[in-house]
Amino acid sequence: MTPDPFLEPEFVPPWGPPQPQRLWLHVALFLATLATTIIAGALQQGVNPLETPELLYKGIPFSFTLLLILGTHEMGHYLVSRKHRLDVTLPFFIPAPPIPFIIGTFGAFIRIRSPIRDKRALLDVGCAGPLIGVLVSIPVILVGLKLSVVTVMGGHGEELTLGEPLLFKLLSWVVFGHLGPEENVILNPVAFAGWIGLLVTALNLLPVGQLDGGHVAYALFPDYHRYISLGVLGLLVVCGLLFWKGWLMWAALLAFLGWRHPPPYQFWVPLDRRRRILGLITIVVFILTFTPAPFMLD
């Protein structure tokens, strides 16, 4: 009996040995993002970093929680990529100006520098980050909601409120039970970081192009990936016109980056049953974490 060449542990990638890592760059970007997210978290607590720099510690709960979620998401991708013998970088964290309404980071990413071997590897890599990230976000949100405060809305002026994806609604119900129409939850910084974790998961799982969701969609439905991408771009435009204008920016950005997906190196290798189930679970996670209106003015 001839062994399956796609499962051979001795498989040597034809694209050569991994390129060297620039560890100093990853560390420098992480430390810069740590600083900007701490400042952003302190600003959320009403701290003026220039007048009272000694109060910057108030931004630590938000910063550490957010970086934990982003870090585990990217390390999920990294470790699974290494398992499949891909040439992959460590996570790059992207700092952002710590100004009001900015969370101090534009996220994080890894760079896969070699072709992905087959649809099995493609699905594994695409699923790993979002699924691990959401598993970390769930206990974070529960702890953060326990530390949050329920108030009665005053009804004066416009206030920015956060949309609630289905998963967040469920976790909120677990902690608070049913809330009345006039009751509002003032999120603790830990809960807010967890909410951002769900938003990041949903954004990454958009089944467009080469996002995580695009990897999953291509692995499951390679013949229909292009139509799925175009359909989701159209849906984002509709959501942008009806719910939150930020979706228009995302639709334009994703259209610019491209909605196509290159085939894996050994495109003919089929998915097994376990990975198909894993892909369907990932689709369910996207549905549970997506909200048409992440930000609203009440």
**How does 70-102 read in b/e, with b if 16+ C-beta sit within 10 Å?**
bbbbbbbbbebbeebebbbbbbbbebbebeeee
Contact 182, 119 (CB under 8 A): no
pLDDT tens, the chain, 298 aa long? 444 444 444 455 555 566 677 889 999 999 999 999 999 999 999 999 889 989 999 999 999 999 999 999 999 999 999 999 899 999 999 999 877 667 999 999 999 988 898 999 999 999 999 999 999 999 999 999 999 988 876 555 556 788 999 999 999 999 998 887 777 888 999 999 999 999 999 999 999 999 999 999 999 999 999 999 999 999 999 999 999 999 999 999 999 988 889 899 888 889 999 999 999 999 999 999 999 999 886 6
Note whether 144 and 192 are within 8 A (CB).
yes
Q: Which residues pair with 295 in a beta bridge?
A: 162
181: which residues sit within 8 A by CB, 6+ positions away?
A: none
pTM for the predicted model, two decimal places: 0.89
